[in-house]
Structure 1
Amino acid sequence: MTKQEMFDKFIEFMGEFAQIKAVAALRDGFIMTTPFTICGSVFLLLANLPLPGYPEFMASIFGADWTAPLNAVAGGTFSVLALIVVLAITYKFVENEGCDAIMASILSLSTFLILMPPEIISKGGETVGDIIPKAWVGSNGVITAILIAFFVSYVFCYCEKNHIGIKMPDSVPSGVAKAFTALVPGMIFFTCASVLYGLCHYIGATTLPELVFKVIQTPLQGLSDSLAGGSIIVGLQSILFWAGIHGPNVVGGVVSPLLIANSLDNQHLIDAGMSLINNPEAKIFTCQINDVFVKSGGCGLTLGLLFAGIFTARSQQLKSLMKMAFVPGLFNINEPIIFGLPIVFNPYLLVPFVIVPLIAMFVTYFAITTGFMAPFSAVQVPWTTPPVIAGFLLNGWQGAVVQIINLAIATVIYFPFLKAQDKAFLKEEMGDMEEEAKEDNAVKAEVKPAAEQ
């Protein structure tokens, strides 16, 4: 098998992978969590704005406990992320199957809550029961939430499509009939949850979320936080996008739960009064590195390509494209350059499109490991926030400097490749002009004898 055939097989496999029902539901479900994480980030950012003297100024106006209302919003978004995830993924999966998505989501939520630890130990050493522990309905419970969502979705859709349930007479209102239809799958979910709870409690003196976190989530987060794991994530995004598959969506659907969990773990360290700089417990590769520092201007760090185009463009095609794509590129919208240049299946730009994000990841990773920049907390910025501004909001002037360095490197790397592309465009345009000139001459040659007659 040749290299081209292997590449084609790989692209075909990833295209089929992106169409898997579970993967699509995972991707769409985490997209539904975006309003919660972004809105929570805004309030968290207001509580931790990286400006000298800002905390003292706010405390002088609103008192020493001025961050409490802002942190309450963060607690109602980030700290219940697993609850949002189990609802969102179940809803998207069941909705795509054409079944009762609302009822399935509610059953999924109840199943998830049954498996939660029933009590917590307070700071004073007292056991407190009858609570929903935020420690396990937040980032620590995300993988469990995903597993529960898939289980409930598959079984619920199977039962509904095969009419396994209590069928009511046609005279019964549809809302009541649907409620009775959900009784059988509900009993299946709750019985399974009860058995799992008992097995974990009596055999292992633990709960399912704690077991999943220890056996599955912790190793996966460790893998995603490594330089090798980060390289695979970043490189795969670009390769797939170059091949016409939306890499960030496909890869993000799988790794976003882990990267978000990494950033939330860092937030827990901050909440405990610990510094993230040079802290061995802090996670380095988080969603902010991928979304803000690796994808400035869009996947492939194409804002660097646009800057290179300003100095390179001689062909009319590239000049007009730069004018059209530059402003959207400042707000991380790069579809005009991805499909307009295009970058998709463009042999001139495959190498820089893959290499540039990897180098940006290495630079950012090095900046964090050396202590120049702190690892990222739960604070996120809207994805349309322009580069440099986004870096400053996330990590102060150090974040802005790292983004500027990444953009400068991207511009330098893209320059020779874009110059070769521009020459190809120019040659094509010159050929078109010659063809037009020949056609004009041919027309004139035909018109002249007719005029003489």
Structure 2
Amino acid sequence: MTKQELFDKFVELMGRFADIRAVTALRDGFIMTTPFTICGSVFLLLANLPIPGYAEFMAGIFGKDWTIPLNAVAGGTFSVLAVIAVLAITYKYVEAEGCDAIMASILALTTFIIVLPPFAATKDGVIVNDVIPKAWAGSNGVITAILVSFFVSAVFCYCEKNHIGIKMPDAVPGGVAKAFEALVPGMVLFTTAAIVYGVCHFALGTTFPELIFKIIQTPLQGLSDSVVGGTVIVSLQSILFWAGIHGPNVVGGVVNPLLIANSLDNQALIDAGQQLAGNPAAKIFTCQINDVFVKSGGCGLTMGFLIASWLSAKSDQMKSITKLATVPGLFNINEPIIFGLPIVFNPYLLFPFIFVPLFAFFITYAAIAIGFMPPFSAVQVPWTTPPVIAGLLLDGWQGAVIQIINLAMATAVYFPFVRAQDKKMLEEEQEAA
């Protein structure tokens, strides 16, 4: 088998993977969590703006506890991320199957709550019973939420498609009939959840979310936070996009829950009164690195391509596509250049499109590892925030400096490849003339 055939097989395999119902539901479900995480980030950012004297100024106006209402919003979004995810993923899965997505989502939420620990511990170690613990309703329960969503979706769709349920007469209103049809899958799901809870409690002395966190989520988060894991994630995004598959969506659907959980773990350290800079417990590779530093201007860090093109382009084709793509690129939308130039299946740009994001990842990871800037908390900025401004909002002047360094690196690496592409286009134009 030749290298090209092997690559084609890989692309075909990833295309099939992207079409798997569970993968698309996971991707689309976590996209639905975006408004909550972004809104929570805005309030968290307002409570922690990296401006000298800001906290003292606000405390002088609103009192020393001025951040409490802002942190309440953050707690009501980030701290229930798993709850939001279990609803969203189930909804997207069941909706795509053509079944009753609302009822399935409610059943999934209830099933998830059943397997949660029914208690929480205070800072003094006092156990409070009959509560929903935010520790497991948030980032620590994300993998459990995903598993519950998939299980509930499969059972509910099977029951509905095979007409397994209590059928009511035609005269009964539709809403009432649907409620009774959900009794059978509800009993199956709740019974299963009760059995799982009982086995974990009596036989293992733990709870299902704690077990999943220990044996699955912790190792996966550790892998995602490593240089090797980050290299694989960043590379796959670019390789798939170059091959015509939306890499950030495919890869993000799998890894975004882990990267978000990494950032929420860092936020938990801050909430516990710890510093992130120099803290060995802090995670380095978070969703902010991938979204803001690795993908400035879009996947492939194509803002560097646009700058290089503005500096060197001579062909009318390159000039026109650069003018067209620059404004969207400032807001991290690079489809005009991905499909308009195109970069997809373009051999001239394969190397920089893959390696520029990798170099940006290494630079950003190293900047955090050596202490130039601290790891990121739960604060996020909208993905359309322009480069440099995004870094400034996230991590002060250090974040802006690293973004500028990444853009300079991207421009330098793209430059010879842009010139080669531009030369080819210019020759084609001259021949046509």
Quick one: distance in 1 between partners of 2:123 and 2:42? 29
8 Å contact from structure 2 (residues 313, 419) kept in 1: yes
Deviation of the 1:205 alpha carbon: 1.0
The residue identity in structure 2 corresponding to 1:103 is M
The residue identity in structure 1 corresponding to 2:348 is Y
Identity %: 76
Quick one: distance in 2 between partners of 1:229 and 1:20? 23
- In the alignment, which residue of structure 2 is the partner of 1:444? none
Q: Tell me the secondary structure at the aligned position of residue 120 of structure 2.
A: strand
Quick one: distance in 2 between partners of 1:290 and 1:157? 35
- In the alignment, which residue of structure 2 is the partner of 1:50? 50
User: Normalising by structure 2, what TM-score?
Assistant: 1.00
- In the alignment, which residue of structure 1 is the partner of 2:412? 412
The residue identity in structure 1 corresponding to 2:245 is I
- In the alignment, which residue of structure 2 is the partner of 1:441? none
- In the alignment, which residue of structure 2 is the partner of 1:337? 337
- In the alignment, which residue of structure 1 is the partner of 2:358? 358
- In the alignment, which residue of structure 1 is the partner of 2:64? 64
Quick one: distance in 2 between partners of 1:170 and 1:101? 22
Deviation of the 1:118 alpha carbon: 1.1
- In the alignment, which residue of structure 1 is the partner of 2:4? 4
Q: Tell me the secondary structure at the aligned position of residue 348 of structure 1.
A: helix
| Equivalences for residues 246-325 of structure 1 within 5 A | 246-325=246-325
- In the alignment, which residue of structure 2 is the partner of 1:348? 348
| Equivalences for residues 359-374 of structure 1 within 5 A | 359-374=359-374
Quick one: distance in 1 between partners of 2:44 and 2:426? 50
Quick one: distance in 2 between partners of 1:309 and 1:404? 17
**Deviation digits for residues 389-431 of structure 1, max 9, x if unmatched?**
0001000000000000000000000000000000000000011
- In the alignment, which residue of structure 2 is the partner of 1:148? 148
- In the alignment, which residue of structure 1 is the partner of 2:172? 172
- In the alignment, which residue of structure 2 is the partner of 1:73? 73
Determine if the alignment matches structure 1 residue 183 to structure 2 residue 180.
Answer: no
Determine if the alignment matches structure 1 residue 116 to structure 2 residue 123.
Answer: no
Deviation of the 1:252 alpha carbon: 0.1
**Deviation digits for residues 378-397 of structure 1, max 9, x if unmatched?**
00000010000000100000
- In the alignment, which residue of structure 2 is the partner of 1:232? 232
**Deviation digits for residues 169-211 of structure 1, max 9, x if unmatched?**
1111110000000000000000000000000000111100000
Deviation of the 1:299 alpha carbon: 0.2
The residue identity in structure 2 corresponding to 1:120 is A
The residue identity in structure 2 corresponding to 1:154 is A
Quick one: distance in 1 between partners of 2:44 and 2:179? 40
Runs of 4+ in 1 over 2 A off after TM superposition: 123-126
Quick one: distance in 2 between partners of 1:353 and 1:128? 52
Segment of structure 1 superposing worse, 211-220 or 118-127: 118-127
Quick one: distance in 1 between partners of 2:10 and 2:174? 47
Q: Tell me the secondary structure at the aligned position of residue 231 of structure 1.
A: helix
Deviation of the 1:107 alpha carbon: 0.3
The residue identity in structure 2 corresponding to 1:244 is G
Deviation of the 1:120 alpha carbon: 1.8
Quick one: distance in 1 between partners of 2:124 and 2:289? 38
Q: Tell me the secondary structure at the aligned position of residue 349 of structure 1.
A: helix
Deviation of the 1:123 alpha carbon: 2.3
**Deviation digits for residues 3-37 of structure 1, max 9, x if unmatched?**
00000000000001000000000000000000000
Deviation of the 1:126 alpha carbon: 2.2
Deviation of the 1:312 alpha carbon: 1.2
User: Normalising by structure 1, what TM-score?
Assistant: 0.95
Quick one: distance in 2 between partners of 1:317 and 1:166? 64
Segment of structure 1 superposing worse, 339-348 or 114-123: 114-123
Quick one: distance in 1 between partners of 2:179 and 2:251? 37
- In the alignment, which residue of structure 2 is the partner of 1:107? 107
- In the alignment, which residue of structure 2 is the partner of 1:445? none
8 Å contact from structure 2 (residues 120, 132) kept in 1: no
| Equivalences for residues 117-136 of structure 1 within 5 A | 117-136=117-136
Q: Tell me the secondary structure at the aligned position of residue 128 of structure 1.
A: strand
8 Å contact from structure 2 (residues 94, 100) kept in 1: yes
Deviation of the 1:125 alpha carbon: 2.9
Quick one: distance in 2 between partners of 1:312 and 1:158? 59
The residue identity in structure 1 corresponding to 2:120 is I
- In the alignment, which residue of structure 1 is the partner of 2:29? 29
Deviation of the 1:119 alpha carbon: 1.2
The residue identity in structure 1 corresponding to 2:85 is V
Segment of structure 1 superposing worse, 323-332 or 6-15: 323-332
The residue identity in structure 1 corresponding to 2:251 is V
Quick one: distance in 2 between partners of 1:227 and 1:356? 16
Determine if the alignment matches structure 1 residue 381 to structure 2 residue 386.
Answer: no
Quick one: distance in 2 between partners of 1:137 and 1:413? 44
May I ask how many residue pairs the two structures share in their alignment? 433
Indicate the structure (1 or 2) with the bigger Cα radius of gyration.
1
The residue identity in structure 1 corresponding to 2:149 is A
**Deviation digits for residues 284-336 of structure 1, max 9, x if unmatched?**
00000000000000000000000000111100001111111111111101011
**Deviation digits for residues 426-446 of structure 1, max 9, x if unmatched?**
00001100xxxxxxxxxxxxx
Quick one: distance in 2 between partners of 1:425 and 1:14? 31
Quick one: distance in 1 between partners of 2:28 and 2:177? 29
Determine if the alignment matches structure 1 residue 241 to structure 2 residue 237.
Answer: no
Quick one: distance in 2 between partners of 1:30 and 1:428? 44
- In the alignment, which residue of structure 2 is the partner of 1:221? 221
Deviation of the 1:127 alpha carbon: 1.8
The residue identity in structure 2 corresponding to 1:373 is M
- In the alignment, which residue of structure 2 is the partner of 1:399? 399
Quick one: distance in 1 between partners of 2:235 and 2:142? 25
Quick one: distance in 1 between partners of 2:83 and 2:125? 27
8 Å contact from structure 2 (residues 297, 330) kept in 1: yes
Quick one: distance in 1 between partners of 2:376 and 2:9? 37
Quick one: distance in 1 between partners of 2:125 and 2:394? 36
Quick one: distance in 1 between partners of 2:200 and 2:269? 28
Deviation of the 1:278 alpha carbon: 1.1
Quick one: distance in 2 between partners of 1:50 and 1:356? 28
Deviation of the 1:124 alpha carbon: 2.8
Q: Tell me the secondary structure at the aligned position of residue 347 of structure 2.
A: coil
Quick one: distance in 1 between partners of 2:27 and 2:330? 25
